[in-house]
Structure 1
Amino acid sequence: MAMITLQNSRNAEVTVLTNNFIDNYMPEANGEFVKVYIYLLRLLSDASVPFSLEQMADHFFCTERDIVRALKYWEKVNLLTLTYRSNEDITDITLNVPPVKSDVSDSSKPAVQTVSVAKDTVAQSSDVSAPSTKPAARSASSLSPDRVKELKQNDEIVQLLYIAEQYLGKTLTPTEMKKILFFYDELKFSPDLIEYLIEYSVSRGHKSIRYIETVALAWADEGITTVTMAKEANSRYAKEYFTIFKSMGISGRNPVDTEISLMNTWLNDYGFSMDIIQEACSRTVLSTGQPSFQYADKILSGWKDKNVRTLADVRLLDAQHQRQKLEKKTQKKAAAPKPAATNRFNNFHQREYDFSEYEKKLLNQ
């Protein structure tokens, strides 16, 4: 696990959050992203605090993928810059001072706080550097007032916004309206797909625009462009979710967002088949006596690191593990001092282990 160290000489009892960030950046950001950003500032306020993406994920009861997604969002809006190693691990984090919205077009360079990395360590300095030259992906905040005004004159959009208000049961705020326009203008969702997106989210008990945006971005990542494709994806995932729930011994409720996030990680990021996931769930319940998605994720992430693709690979790992245990036990016996005197209890025939034969039996189970 790569450890990252943030260093700073400021007062550790104070974490500074600018009014500019609160007024102009926080309202449009996903709540989980805001928590990650504030926590990163909190770490910077302490001297030489080691941390890793895994530790941040554990702190927020989410996945490392969720942490990286948050960091990339703040990079998109130019609040920080990420640099990567060749293996795609994050090495540098540069915190940019949030530019005032009205001054974004200014050609001058924004002040930044650079978090530089040497091997596995991050150290904050007071150097001023240029922002990343990598083009930032557009977000809802990139829609200009003129473009918003233009879209709102579209009869199709007017109808869509009205339908959205009926589903959400309230008048849309400017931020909510802008998000819906973002789905249409940037994600290229059709009005029918956006209507289904809102209907789907509300049917699951979520009327938050942040949740709706999370689903929209996930659909965009999967290349979903029609209502039919969205329904097929939802049906497929719903079936897989409840299959996993059954393996965990859970019934009578729907999965919560954190569970969905982990299950999507197993299915999409890790690319495991359902039989592998079910095996991990079964082992989780046997080991802990209760369902635990975090425990199952540790099993599956370990299997991913060892390139497990089939149940046969799992059995091979089990056999190797048992063999190592037997070898250690034998070595321990051989190293133990022999008793000075012999008696009838020491006159038995010592058992010799045939490790190859034992491994074959385990693999054939």
Structure 2
Amino acid sequence: MNFIIETTDIDLGDTPIENIFINDFMPMADGTYVKVYLLGYKYAHDKDENIEVDNETIAKHLNIPLIDVLNAWDFWEQKGIIKKIPIDEGKQYDYKVKFLNLKQLYIKNNYKPINMNEEVVTKSYTCSVEDLVDANQIPRINEMFNSIDYIMRRQLVPNEKRRVLEWIHNYNMNPDIIEKAFFYAVEKKGKRNINYIAGIIRNWYDQGITNIEALQDNLKVTNEKYYRYERVMKALGIVNRLPTEGEMKTIDKWFEEYKFTMEMVLKGCENSKKTSNPSISYIDGILSSWHQKGIKTLEDIEEKDKPPIKKEQEFSNKKYRKAKVNKNRFHNFEQRTSKYTADQLEEIARRKREEYYSKIKGEYNDV
């Protein structure tokens, strides 16, 4: 028994372990099955013809029962990424293991273009009920389905979930891209048909869009509004959900009503670092303030967004410099002495005294 690898007539630049296996197939498999695949793949790459290995060699190397090795090859053959080539018809467990080139496999199975209104036909992998049950145990897959349910405003039925898993495997898409496809179809195109979304997935795959960065680059050219949503959410560090309808309207306002550039909006997002809980509404407060102040460029921010200089509160200062007087009703009368000088007051006092003494003297003489 030995192990061989299928060669391809197209140089696709393989790594020792293809990324498609790591991203798509490894998460769905039992750890023992992954170990068997990787060790067998290593032996297949070994160029030393003097080294002969078989399933018993793998079992001893991994310190597992032989039946686990055989079950692992059955599992991977069912997934369509290896082939068992019998050596002796009389010996059921005596066979070669041929590792299929996963890139070539995807090209062969997914080369035919698809109509947007037709159902995606996947040949390399068909999701079974057991696969769906296993996938639901993976936290990231559960998060993806919950997000899709929110976008669609309903729960996906099991058959639809199985199709989503087939997209992940057959088009080498990660869950983030699947979520974006649903969001794009519902919010941008107003379509909730699963076949329409399948067409979006296929078109993105044909354009080489299999990760968020590639999607953003594409949307920047083809769909400016959707690109804005993606870029703003990423700048705020909000990666665990898509924008709500209200948040999308707010973002549209920044660009369409306020006429801000992406550079200005991202500058506003930078200011969100001042708070521990950045949000669209917090950024809206910053950008609305800039709009009211007539700020349109980064240079305007330095000039017009300075904190106002505090003016002297003259009224308050006077209030505290003067002692406060509690007035009563007698303060309403004007003081008569305020009309005379000191000399005049003295003369008045002198005449009053003389008049007084004259009066007293007259009363005494009468007696």
TM-score, scaled to structure 1: 0.28
TM-score for both structures, normalised by structure 2: 0.28
**Hey, which of these two has a bigger chunk of helix by percent?**
2
Structure with bigger strand share is 1
